[in-house]
């Protein structure tokens, strides 16, 4: 089992033939190779359906749908008995290359040592939309299709082994990359031998292959070790910032001084005569330098003559005032249950407000890309979650057909939502086109902090009503947020898209905002805040700010009703399958953390719960205050994503989210000054270090036999809430604004 | 100028004397295991050894290390005469404890840890935290780094 950045020689793009069962088989199979794959792309299917509909409408003649001729996922077995698994998802640290390979290896009955994992790229014909890696969806989306391809391939090998060994197929067992005869275990062929012995072309069988039952899994559900670590710990792994080509140069690009400012005039000034400068590239809204070294390119930027006009002049106070929910706001209703017109006419009314600031992704590898633009062919190495978008944007920017642009996704040095952008790769492509040589663009930390996009600021007003027994009568969440999805659908500072006009509320900013607890009346209102400051996807999307607000407020309600916060949640769970999963997770963490005995004079305890995209999360945290500073002590986190493919990978994702969210809870705040982010580097935006890292215990729960939710994001919003609740438990201070500031009196 | 990196001599063309070491190592020489993260010596991704001392290469002018022994992550493992590679105890522990996620910071973490355990075969948890608290990891692998450094220190002690 291993992962290689370099593509092996036998994996040139091959041609494919469609089978009757919508599987694809690599042409040439039967000549020492078996290659089977399938396509998944929603976009292709949508395109074909639209084509049929439009042609039928316009011409009265409906063409047949044309399925794609390239697979989105595929595996190859050669005569050397090595299985190559092509993964159509980007490895950004989440372990997706390992978890997807272990799913395939289990169903295909592979010897794990014979598995080689490869990153797929746009050259191999992938459908747009599949390579895009986001939203904690990789395992849930690909779990079933990968198993179907693997099982089909396994059954083909089994049938062929039966023929070669001259026994009935029911006599053959596949195990450890070999087939053997049940009654004569010495009669055996490994997969490589079977492939070598096959004389004819392989045929996909008509009969559907049966998937293995959970009880027979030998890799799925196991803490299989990561395939990418050897090349990572030896420094050989290639990230976007590390991509190299012979004769490459370095680029740097001028940045706007204020958000919304436009470049009205640009000239080279004396930049051309600066040391090492090869070219000054000026186009519409773009001025950049190509030089022999990276520092030379950056240094020459100051010598350009640039005139910027317009843009915002906001300071932090302007932003905070803009975000606040106002009485005359027009809000969009996104949840309404029961009678809401008189929802707060009875009971004991409790109300609280919460805020979260803008935050940076702070992935340690800045945006990076290397482009080689030749007249008829373009190669781009990019550190991106969205290789397909990189390809289409490059096509538009360069005026070159997308088919002639190959995008090779590299490892990502962290993504967290920020690498859905394609910035650096496109800048490199523009500069490379101008000089006819490969150009690398790697942003510096200040560019990373100030440009691109960031987590939007939010303001929340929560109102609840309790009867005298502490039962929840009504609950309302009003939330104001900068854009998450709409930043990418609406033009900056300009018009609104159909999507944002129809929806009104940004669906991704609203993640985690809905009220799942049982109450006769419930309402959620969304206040969109469209700003010139770019905001967008940040790990967890809306679930970070919203879970913080909602789950802190649930604690306030429980305190006000004088009911234990776990009991209060149990009392108000929805009466359905989700409620049952939440109950199990709550009871599990209550037991594991020894909840009843966690509080003391110097230790506070807090709990938070959420349900996010198919995954249930319950988190208990303890905290203390030492020398006036908040100190996280211990965390117990139960996650139920339906079914866990790799428990150690799952634990790593949970641990990582707890650390990242604690950093945001205690330290992180992006501020704005004169229309620009004022934090330039980590001295003005410190991250949490090992000294603040708590002990973390992760409990994985399988409530199903198949994955229903992801694990890369759902935990993140529970941390600030559990911490706020723990600090209240210890000090009686309710911290409602991130990052936390203790009142030191 | 000449630089001695991982025991090999490199002749490099350095246009400015104060060019930061990180760019010479990565871009001029092509050893990209040393990472850039902040350019201010804060995050620690660029840590290399200069005469055995962990050093932030992003703030180190190249002329200050002209006569010194530089070690990067590529030089941490040992290779025998037949070309067989044996990972440094820190590298091995980082795999065994499944430490990295994205791994961009890990070269710096491992270089810092390797220098630390050279002189501390039996560190306490607090010692490790103190030694490692100037290295950022955005993926949040700190708990596993702490464990792996302890394991590596203990293995290093046994082999000594």
Which residue, among B141, B121, B2, B13, has the nearest Cα to B65 in the 3D structure?
B2
Residue A52 located in a structural domain: yes
- Of the residues A200, A233, A266, which one is the last residue of a structural domain? A233
DSSP state of A218: S
Please check whether residues A429 and A346 belong to one and the same domain: no
Residue A449 located in a structural domain: no
**Interface check B112 vs A, CB under 8 A:** no
Residues of B with CB below 8 A from A696's CB? 143
Token output for A587: 């009871």
Please check whether residues A572 and A527 belong to one and the same domain: yes
Encode pLDDT of A70-82 as tens digits: 677 888 999 999 9
Q: What is the ipTM of this complex?
A: 0.97
Encode pLDDT of A496-550 as tens digits: 777 888 888 999 999 999 999 999 999 999 999 999 999 999 999 999 999 999 9
Token output for B120: 């501390």
Q: A680 and A738 in contact (C-beta within 8 Å)?
A: no
* Domain that residue A19 falls in: 2-233
- Residue with more model confidence, B158 or A424: A424
Question: Cβ contact (<8 Å) for B139 and A414?
Answer: yes
- Of the residues A180, A206, A233, which one is the last residue of a structural domain? A233
- Number of CB atoms found within 10 A of residue A275's CB: 13
Please give the interface size between A and B, counted as residue pairs whose CB atoms are below 8 Å apart: 176
Question: Cβ contact (<8 Å) for A365 and B102?
Answer: yes
Please check whether residues A526 and A657 belong to one and the same domain: yes
**What local confidence, expressed as pLDDT, does residue B153 receive?**
96
Q: Any alpha helices (H) in A490-629, and if so which ranges? A: 498-503, 543-561, 565-571, 577-592
**Residue to test with chain A: of B15, B49, B138, B147, most A Cβ within 10 A:** B138
Question: Cβ contact (<8 Å) for A445 and B16?
Answer: no
pTM: 0.94
Question: Cβ contact (<8 Å) for A363 and B145?
Answer: no
Please check whether residues A421 and A490 belong to one and the same domain: no
**Residue to test with chain A: of B108, B140, B150, most A Cβ within 10 A:** B140
Which residue, among A380, A439, A437, A422, has the nearest Cα to A404 in the 3D structure?
A380
Question: Cβ contact (<8 Å) for A656 and B16?
Answer: no
Strand partners, A37: A24, A74
Instruction: Report the relative pairing of strands B53-56 and B47-50 from DSSP bridges.
Output: antiparallel
Question: Cβ contact (<8 Å) for B136 and A691?
Answer: no
Q: A220 and A104 in contact (C-beta within 8 Å)?
A: no
**Interface check B143 vs A, CB under 8 A:** yes
Please check whether residues A545 and A662 belong to one and the same domain: yes
**What local confidence, expressed as pLDDT, does residue A9 receive?**
37
What are the distances in angstroms from CA A444 to CA A52, A362, A390?
48, 12, 20
Shortest CA gap A229–chain B (Å): 6
**What local confidence, expressed as pLDDT, does residue A8 receive?**
44
Token output for A619: 């988190």
Please check whether residues A398 and A472 belong to one and the same domain: no
**What local confidence, expressed as pLDDT, does residue A44 receive?**
47
Select from B133, B135, B143 the Cβ nearest to the Cβ of A696.
Answer: B143
Please check whether residues A428 and A293 belong to one and the same domain: yes
CA atoms within 13 A on the CB side of A523: 19
∠ at Cα A280 (A277, A285), nearest 5°?
145
Mean pLDDT by 10 residues, chain A (745 residues): 54 66 74 81 51 57 53 87 90 92 96 92 64 77 90 95 96 96 93 93 89 96 96 97 97 97 96 97 96 97 98 98 94 94 93 98 98 94 91 94 92 94 92 98 98 97 96 97 89 69 90 96 96 95 98 98 97 95 98 97 98 95 96 98 96 98 98 98 98 97 93 97 98 98 83
Please check whether residues A591 and A614 belong to one and the same domain: yes
∠ at Cα A80 (A175, A192), nearest 5°?
45
Please check whether residues A540 and A599 belong to one and the same domain: yes
Residues of A with CB below 8 A from B95's CB? 225, 229-230, 233
**What local confidence, expressed as pLDDT, does residue A43 receive?**
46
Strand partners, A355: A459, A737
∠ at Cα A119 (A116, A125), nearest 5°?
120
pLDDT, mean of residues B95-121: 97
Residue A743 located in a structural domain: no
- Of the residues A197, A216, A233, which one is the last residue of a structural domain? A233
Residues of A with CB below 8 A from B112's CB? none
Shortest CA gap B144–chain A (Å): 9
**Interface check B144 vs A, CB under 8 A:** yes
Share of chain B above pLDDT 70, in %: 99
What element of type H or E holds A638? strand A629-640
Q: A541 and A710 in contact (C-beta within 8 Å)?
A: no
Question: Cβ contact (<8 Å) for A241 and B32?
Answer: yes
Please check whether residues A482 and A595 belong to one and the same domain: yes
What are the distances in angstroms from CA A669 to CA A361, A386, A663, A737, B58?
11, 27, 10, 11, 25
Please check whether residues A182 and A291 belong to one and the same domain: no
Residue A306 located in a structural domain: yes
Question: Cβ contact (<8 Å) for A652 and B23?
Answer: no
**What local confidence, expressed as pLDDT, does residue A492 receive?**
56
CATH code for position A163: 3.30.365.10
Residue A740 located in a structural domain: no
Q: Return d(Cα A391, Cα A126) in angstroms, integer.
A: 12
Domain ranges for chain B: 2-75, 78-159
Which residue, among A567, A530, A153, A78, has the nearest Cα to A323 in the 3D structure?
A530
Select from A241, A652, A681 the Cβ nearest to the Cβ of B42.
Answer: A681
Please check whether residues A656 and A595 belong to one and the same domain: yes
Return left, alpha or beta for A136; rule: phi > 0 is left, psi -120 to 50 is alpha, else beta: left
Domain B2-75 belongs in CATH node 3.10.20.30? yes
Q: How many domains does chain A have?
A: 3
The structure tokens 């200069």 sit at: B50
Residue A709 located in a structural domain: yes
Residues of A with CB below 8 A from B143's CB? 655, 693, 695-696
Question: Cβ contact (<8 Å) for A232 and B100?
Answer: yes
- Residue with more model confidence, B16 or A165: A165
Token output for A23: 């599987």
- The superfamily (CATH) of domain B78-159 is [2Fe-2S]-binding domain (1.10.150.120)
DSSP state of A235: T
Q: Which of residues 26-85 of B touch A (CB under 8 A)?
A: 26-28, 30-40, 42-43, 45, 72-74, 76-77, 85
∠ at Cα A512 (A640, A624), nearest 5°?
75
Token output for A432: 């490379």
Which residue, among A459, A619, A612, A620, has the nearest Cα to A543 in the 3D structure?
A612
């Amino acid at each position: 089992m291993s992962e290689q950045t370099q593509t092996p020689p036998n994996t040139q793009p091959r041609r494919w033939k469609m089978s009757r069962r919508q599987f694809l088989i690599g042409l040439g199979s039967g000549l020492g190779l078996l290659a089977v794959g399938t396509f998944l792309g929603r976009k292709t299917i949508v395109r074909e359906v639209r084509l049929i509909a439009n042609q039928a409408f316009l011409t009265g003649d409906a063409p047949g749908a044309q399925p794609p001729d390239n697979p989105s996922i595929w595996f190859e077995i050669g005569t050397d008995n090595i299985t190559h698994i092509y993964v159509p998802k980007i490895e950004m640290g989440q372990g997706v290359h390992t978890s997807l390979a272990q799913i395939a290896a289990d169903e295909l009955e592979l010897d794990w040592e014979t598995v080689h994992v490869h990153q797929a790229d746009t050259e191999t014909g992938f459908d747009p939309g599949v390579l895009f890696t986001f939203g904690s969806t990789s395992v849930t989306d690909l779990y079933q299709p990968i198993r179907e391809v693997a099982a089909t391939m396994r059954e083909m090998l089994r049938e062929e082994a039966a023929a070669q060994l001259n026994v009935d197929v029911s006599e053959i067992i596949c195990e450890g990359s070999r087939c053997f005869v049940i009654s004569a275990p010495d009669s055996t062929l490994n997969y490589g031998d079977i492939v070598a012995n096959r004389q004819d072309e392989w045929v996909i069988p008509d009969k559907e292959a049966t998937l293995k039952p959970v009880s027979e899994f030998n890799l799925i559900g196991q803490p299989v070790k990561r395939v990418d670590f050897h090349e990572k710990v030896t420094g050989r792994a290639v990230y976007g910032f590390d991509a190299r080509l012979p004769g490459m140069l370095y680029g740097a690009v001028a940045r706007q001084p204020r958000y919304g400012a436009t470049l009205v005039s640009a000239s080279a000034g004396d930049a051309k005569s600066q040391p090492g400068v090869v070219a000054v590239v000026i186009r519409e809204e773009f001025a950049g330098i190509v030089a022999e070294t990276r520092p030379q390119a950056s240094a020459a930027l100051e010598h350009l003559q640039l005139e910027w006009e317009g843009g915002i002049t906001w300071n932090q106070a302007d932003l905070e005032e803009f975000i606040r929910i106002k009485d005359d706001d027009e809000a969009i209703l996104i949840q309404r249950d029961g009678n809401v017109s008189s929802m707060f006419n009875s009971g004991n009314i409790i109300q609280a407000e919460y805020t979260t600031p803008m935050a940076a992704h702070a992935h340690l590898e800045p945006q990076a890309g290397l482009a080689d633009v030749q007249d008829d062919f373009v190669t781009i190495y990019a550190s991106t979650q969205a290789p397909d978008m990189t390809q289409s944007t490059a096509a538009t920017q360069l005026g070159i057909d997308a088919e002639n642009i190959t995008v090779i996704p590299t490892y990502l040095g962290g993504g967290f939502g920020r690498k859905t952008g394609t910035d650096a790769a496109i800048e490199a492509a523009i500069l490379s086109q101008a000089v006819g040589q490969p150009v690398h663009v790697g942003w510096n930390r200040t560019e990373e902090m100030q440009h691109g996009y960031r987590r939007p600021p939010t303001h929340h007003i929560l109102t609840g009503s309790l009867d005298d027994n502490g039962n929840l009568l009504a609950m309302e969440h009003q939330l104001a947020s900068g854009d998450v999805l709409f930043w990418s659908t609406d033009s900056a500072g300009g018009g609104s898209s159909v999507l944002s006009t129809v929806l009104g509320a940004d669906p991704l900013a609203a993640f985690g905002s809905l009220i799942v607890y049982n109450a006769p009346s419930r309402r959620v209102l969304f206040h969109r805040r469209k700003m010139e400051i770019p905001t967008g996807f940040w790990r967890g999307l809306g679930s970070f700010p919203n879970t913080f607000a909602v789950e802190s407020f649930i604690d306030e309600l429980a305190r006000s009703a004088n009911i234990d916060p776990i009991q209060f949640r149990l009392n108000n769970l929805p009466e359905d399958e989700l409620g049952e999963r939440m109950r199990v997770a709550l009871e599990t963490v209550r037991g594991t953390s020894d909840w009843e005995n966690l509080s003391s004079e110097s230790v506070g305890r807090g709990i938070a719960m959420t349900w996010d995209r198919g995954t249930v999360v319950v988190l208990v945290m303890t905290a203390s205050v030492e020398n006036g500073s908040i100190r996280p002590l211990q965390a117990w986190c139960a996650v139920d994503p339906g079914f866990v493919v790799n428990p150690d990978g799952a634990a790593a994702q949970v641990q990582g989210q707890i650390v990242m969210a604690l950093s945001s809870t205690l330290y992180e705040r992006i501020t704005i000054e004169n229309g620009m982010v004022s934090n330039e580097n980590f001295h003005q935006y410190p991250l949490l270090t090992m000294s603040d890292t708590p002990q973390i215990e992760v409990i994985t729960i399988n409530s199903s036999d198949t994955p229903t939710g992801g694990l890369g994001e759902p935990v993140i919003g529970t941390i600030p809430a559990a911490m706020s609740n723990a600090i209240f438990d210890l000090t009686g201070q309710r911290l409602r604004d991130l990052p936390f500031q203790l009142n030191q009196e | 100028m000449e630089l001695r990196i991982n025991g090999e001599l490199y002749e490099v063309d350095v246009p400015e004397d104060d060019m930061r070491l990180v760019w010479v190592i990565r871009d001029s020489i092509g050893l990209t295991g040393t990472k850039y993260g902040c350019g201010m010596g804060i995050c620690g991704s660029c840590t290399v050894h200069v005469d055995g001392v962990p050093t932030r290469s992003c703030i180190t002018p190249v002329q200050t290390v002209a006569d010194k022994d530089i070690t990067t992550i590529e030089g941490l493992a040992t290779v025998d005469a037949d070309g067989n590679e044996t990972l440094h105890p820190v590298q091995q522990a980082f795999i065994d404890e499944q430490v990295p996620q994205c791994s961009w910071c890990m070269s710096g973490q491992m270089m810092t840890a390797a220098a630390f355990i050279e002189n501390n075969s039996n560190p306490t948890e607090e010692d490790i935290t103190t030694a490692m608290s100037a290295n950022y990891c955005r993926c949040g692998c700190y708990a596993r780094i702490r464990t792996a450094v302890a394991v590596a220190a203990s293995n290093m002690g046994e082999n000594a």
